[in-house]
Amino acid sequence: MGAEAIRHILGRHKSGESLGLYSVCSAHRAVLHAAALQALSDDSILLVESTSNQVDQFGGYSGMKPLEFVAYVRGIAAETGLEEERIIFGGDHLGPNVWQSESAAVAMAKAHDQVVAYREAGYLKFHLDATYSCAGDPEAPLPAGLIAERTAELCQAVEVGIDAGGARPLYVIGSDVPLPGGATMPGEALTVTPVAEVEEIITLTRAAFMQRGLGDAWERVIAVVVQPGVEFDHSLVHDYRPARAEALSRFIETEERLVYEAHSTDYQTGSALAELVRDHFAILKVGPWLTFAFREAVFALEMIETEWLGRRKGLQLSRLGATIEEEMAAAPKHWQKHYRGTAEEQAVARRYSLSDRIRYYWPRPAVQESLGRLLANLQAGPVPAGLLSQFMPEQYRAVRAGEIAAEPAAFIEHKIRQVLAAYVHATGVRRL
């Protein structure tokens, strides 16, 4: 298992098999539980990634340091019976991202400490991203040579502390910045990364690695992050168009071991995901779509609660949607800069946007209490079949087919695993 499992899969891809990997980029308990069950049923590895602002040496916005995140994920996986050795941890956009307002020297020093903390926690996949401008830097985009030098600097910070017999991590270079997931606006053109730019990234980063004596580490660079033309905003999905990425696809075939890593693949169709893997975007990242599916499930359950139990005397309803709205209004920092328009339009976006900024509010105590009440209320008896069919028709059909239990937790899990199933099919993990 471990890093060798990733190299084996990507090696088979480079040999002509339409195989790939998907990466779960989420800290949500229900998502991680469903992902662990999916890996268990597929007899596959589980690749889980945390972002540079989500988990770092100071705790990030999740409140977890790398060691704490690893323990958290492993604890959830243990509940399903998934063995620790089948879980691989990756870091996304590791570098000066969080500290862009500080000088490059200070930001890079903190980025060094960040990647070291990730390594010491047992992470084996590092996306090194030095594309962010810091205070005093030239205006973005940074010169490619400077990006390459800083990328090599971060790699060296990881490598120098590895024991002689320690696991050797894998690296991903490049970035989709300045268009990370959900950044486009309606009608905004989406530019596919030019081949010349990819070639420059590889050439300059290879040279920077060699200059620092990181030849062995360069042999463990597995992928380059590019923009293949997939993206989403609050209500729009840019679907993958293979013809637009044809030149990228042909180019990477000339590289002996490298593939592409595609970010923001959320909400793509199943066929588009399969086409991405076929065209050598062999590592697919998914995050907001999974928590979006969770949100869809629990909001549907609240509708069932209201219709079924809303007139029952003495019963306190969950008020889940209202509680979330109250929490988002009280602490708007996670959505206020992202949702524009009238007050009414912002209200809709808070609940239903594809960018799913609501995902930042699930851990809040008031929301957790409301969610717990919802699930407890629905234990009053079997959910009436007509209501389940009305608000969760796919889960109703799964219950009728004997595929899942007639339990609220099973409905939520099934909803999340429907998203994961698209990635399982596209990457071919069941054929490994």
81-95, 165-179, 347-361, 394-408: segment of lowest average pLDDT: 165-179
Q: State which CATH number among 3.30.930.10, 3.40.630.30, 1.10.400.20, 3.40.50.2300 fits the domain covering 291-415.
A: 1.10.400.20
The residues near 211 (Cβ < 8 Å, ≥ 6 apart) are 152
Please check the confidence at residue 373 and state whether its pLDDT lies above 60.
yes
| 56 close to 112: Cβ distance less than 8 angstroms | no
- What tokens were used for 307? 């219709």
62-71, 173-182, 345-354: segment of lowest average pLDDT: 173-182
**For residue 55, which amino acid is it?**
V
Cα torsion through 120, 122, 128, 130, rounded to 10: -30
d(CA 429, CA 432): 5
Over residues 127-150, mean pLDDT:
94
- What tokens were used for 352? 């239903």
Over residues 310-319, mean pLDDT:
96
| 208 close to 221: Cβ distance less than 8 angstroms | no
pLDDT in tens, 270-288: 999 999 999 999 999 999 9
- What tokens were used for 17? 């098999």
- The SS3 assignment for 169 reads coil
pLDDT in tens, 323-345: 999 999 999 999 999 999 999 99
Please check the confidence at residue 412 and state whether its pLDDT lies above 80.
yes
d(CA 175, CA 158): 19
CB neighbour class for 59 (10 Å; exposed up to 12, middle 13-18, buried from 19) = middle
Over residues 104-111, mean pLDDT:
98
Token pair 């088979």 is found at: 12
Please check the confidence at residue 181 and state whether its pLDDT lies above 50.
no
Q: What angle do CA 301, 304, 308 make, to 5 degrees?
A: 145
The residues near 184 (Cβ < 8 Å, ≥ 6 apart) are 190, 231, 232, 233, 236, 238
Q: In the prediction, which pLDDT does 431 show?
A: 54
Instruction: Please state which CATH number belongs to domain 3-286.
Output: 3.20.20.70
Please check the confidence at residue 182 and state whether its pLDDT lies above 70.
no
| 33 close to 296: Cβ distance less than 8 angstroms | no
397 band by pLDDT with thresholds 50, 70 and 90 = very high
163 band by pLDDT with thresholds 50, 70 and 90 = confident
DSSP lists the bridge partners of residue 91 as 50, 126
Domain segments of the chain: what residues?
Answer: 3-286, 291-415
Q: What pTM value is reported for the model?
A: 0.95
CB neighbour class for 198 (10 Å; exposed up to 12, middle 13-18, buried from 19) = buried
φ, ψ for residue 96 (rounded to 5)? -80, 10
How far from 256 is each of 5, 216, 252, CA to CA, in Å?
18, 15, 8
Q: In the prediction, which pLDDT does 259 show?
A: 98
The widest CA-to-CA distance across the chain, in whole angstroms, is: 74
pLDDT in tens, 189-218: 689 999 999 999 999 999 999 999 999 999
Which percentage of the chain shows pLDDT scores above 90? 93
Long-range contacts (CB closer than 8 Å, 24 or more residues apart) made by 248-254? 248/192, 248/193, 248/195, 248/198, 248/279, 248/280, 249/279, 249/280, 251/195, 251/198, 251/199, 252/198, 252/224, 252/280, 253/280
d(CA 207, CA 401): 57
Q: In the prediction, which pLDDT does 185 show?
A: 47
